[in-house]
Amino acid sequence: MATSDLSEVSQDDLFEHYTFKAAKGQEPLRVDKFLMNFIENATRNKIQQAAKQGHIWVNGLPVKQNYRVKAEDEVKVLFEHPPYEFLLSPENIPLDIVFEDSQLVVVNKPAGMVVHPGHGNYAGTLINALLYHFESLPNNSSGRPGLVHRIDKDTSGLLVVAKTDEAMSHLAQQFFEKSTEREYIALVWGNVKEDQGTIEGHIGRNPKNRLQMMVFPDGESGKEAITHYKVLERFGYVSLISCKLETGRTHQIRVHMKHIGHTLFNDARYGGDKILKGTTFTKYKQFVENCFKILPRQGLHAKSLGVVHPTTGEFLKFVADLPLDMTVCIEKWQNYSKHSQ
C-alpha cells in the first residue's frame, strides 16, 4: 500500500501544490493511483490531466501518469483551479439560520455541504451561500469570510459565523481558549462499555493514509485532543452517544471513537461503512444495508453550540434538532433492538 512521510499543501490564486515522499517500503505503483491515495477529491482524470500538462514531477523530473512510484521517490503535483475570486463568488443557496444579529450568525449546516471552497469543491459551499446572504463579512487569517470554525462536509449541525472584525477576533479567541460549549450526537458501532468517559490522545495526520487522521497516544505527534462522551441509548450492535469537545481537531470525534473501538456508523473514511458488529444472518445484513441507505454519511450531528456574545458578553446557547436521516436511522435501530431481544 502507498505510504507517505510528508505532505505539504500551499495555495495561491491559481494553483494547489502537493509534495509527497514515498515510504521505504513502497511497492511500485502508478503515480496516478499513488496520488489518489493522498489527495482528497482528486479524480484520476484530474491527475492524468496534470500529467499531460507536465505538472507531475518525480525527483525533480516531469513524468507521465503511468510512471511507477518507487520507495523514497519525491512526488510533486500542481493542480490548476479557478481563480480565487471565482471560488469566493456569491451563490443563492438557502441557509437554515438559527440566529442572527449585527455581530454574528448561527447556521444549521446540512450534511453534504462543504464549508469552504477548495480542490474539488469549487462551488455550492457554505461560504458561497454566506457571501450571497451577507455583505462585507470579515476575513479570517486564511482569507475565508466569516469562518471561525468548521465541521466536516458530511456532518450536519451548528456553525457560528462572524459578521464584524470585532466578532471574528472575539469568537476566534473563545475557540482558541476552549471556552465554547459544543455537543455532538453520534451513532457508533458497538455497545460502548462505559456509560461515560473521556478520550485523550493527540491527533495528527496518518502517515500511511494522508486522508485520515489518527491518535498518537504518547503525544509524540499531532495536537492535544480531548473528547468527553456519554451513552444516551444502547441498541446492541450500535450505540447513540453525546460527545462534548474541549478541543476542535480535524475529525476529532470520528478519530477518537475509532481509537476506542467504536467507529462512527457509516463513516466510510474510517471503515464504518462496513458491518463492524452483529450477526452473519442475511436479514441482519439487509437491515444494516437499508440503514446505510437511509443515513448515507457518518452518523454525526453538531447539536448544540454555546458562545459568549462579542459585544454584550451574554452567554448564548443554540440547539439544532437531529436531521431526518439520523432520526429515521436511529428509530430503525430502536425497533430492531426491541424485537431482537
Sequence spans of domains, the chain: 4-80, 85-176, 181-340
pLDDT band at 13 (very low <50, low <70, confident <90, very high): very low
Predicted TM-score (pTM) of this structure: 0.78
Same fold, 4-80 and 85-176: no
CATH number of 181-340: 3.30.2350.10
Neighbours of 283 (CB within 10 A): 8
Give the 3-state secondary structure of 171-208.
HHHHHHCCCCEEEEEEEEECCCCCCEEEEECEEEEECC
Residue type, 21: K
Q: Which CATH class is domain 4-80?
A: alpha beta
Architecture of domain 85-176: 2-Layer Sandwich (3.30)
pLDDT mean across residues, the chain? 89
pLDDT band at 58 (very low <50, low <70, confident <90, very high): very high
Interacting residues of 221 by C-beta distance below 8 A, sequence separation 6+: 202, 204
Hey, what's the cell of 150? 468548521
Q: Looking at the predicted structure, is the pLDDT value of residue 289 above 70?
A: yes
Neighbours of 162 (CB within 10 A): 24
32 is catalytic: no
* CA 108/CA 161 separation, integer angstroms: 11
pLDDT of residue 296: 97
Please report which helix (H) or strand (E) contains residue 30, including its range.
Answer: strand 29-30
pLDDT band at 84 (very low <50, low <70, confident <90, very high): low
The catalytically annotated residue of 73, 152, 267, 325 is: 152
Q: Looking at the predicted structure, is the pLDDT value of residue 41 above 50?
A: yes
